[in-house]
Amino acid sequence: LEELVAQRVNLRKPLQYILGTQPFGELDIITRPPVLIPRWETEEWTLKIVDNLNANINKFKAQYQRKFRILDVCSGSGCIALTFAAMLPRDTCEVVGLDNAQHAISLSQLNKGLLSEKLSNPVKFQLMDILDDSTLTKVVQDGAYDLIVSNPPYITRDEYRTLSPEVKLWEDPNALVADDDGMLFHKRLASLSSQLSTKIKVPSIPRLAMEIGGKHQVEPMVAFLKAHHFESVQVWADLAGRDRVIAAQ
């Protein structure tokens, strides 16, 4: 116990890394540094989409005679992708998680294995950099996606300097910080949507949902998405009242 207290107090190690797990939806996700610790804000919007999909996904499968395809970009520990695979009705979806860090892919594969009995749908994780044009054909080799979700890096370099030691000393900065005022990955996904998305409209489900860092990113991202042919763009606030997700259809 003294050693654990020392890790927390002296080394500023996050409690989730000390305990080794973090609840997310109905799952207990294994946490290991430097892979990003799942946050409640991410869990909140993931479960919102799960609830809306549960109301529509059987109708989708009956209408299109195939499973609903979900792409999770910057999948990290696998918490989002695994939650979809576990909480949606059996054999209604296929989930693919992409990350550009091998330590993240390794952890997501570990979580997948440990949670295999709770998964109702297939999920796979692939090492891939969405910023690399040469990977795009691999991303859609099995078909385009009905829903693209992402909790990408969205913190600016200036913001990063103000973060707590628990974050800066332990979590991968590449999973947190992005250029272009924190919107590099968001704009990349929006610009690739014509290649990645099936463009099928499902009630209450965006084609693209991305976590953001706050109000300062809303206006430029809404404008960027509308310039890339998204008809409807919504902003979802989290329970703390902070703008948290850009959802585009």
- The reported pLDDT for the residue numbered 5 is 87
Helix axes 79-87, 40-54, angle to 10 degrees: 30
Average pLDDT over residues 197-211: 97
Confidence band (pLDDT; 50, 70, 90) for 77?
Answer: very high
Q: For the beta carbon of residue 77, count every other beta carbon within 10 angstroms.
A: 24
Topology annotation, domain 1-248: Rossmann fold (3.40.50)
CA 108 to chain centre: 12
Q: Quote the pTM value.
A: 0.96
- CA–CA distance, 221 with 186 (Å, rounded to integer): 8
pLDDT, the chain, mean: 97
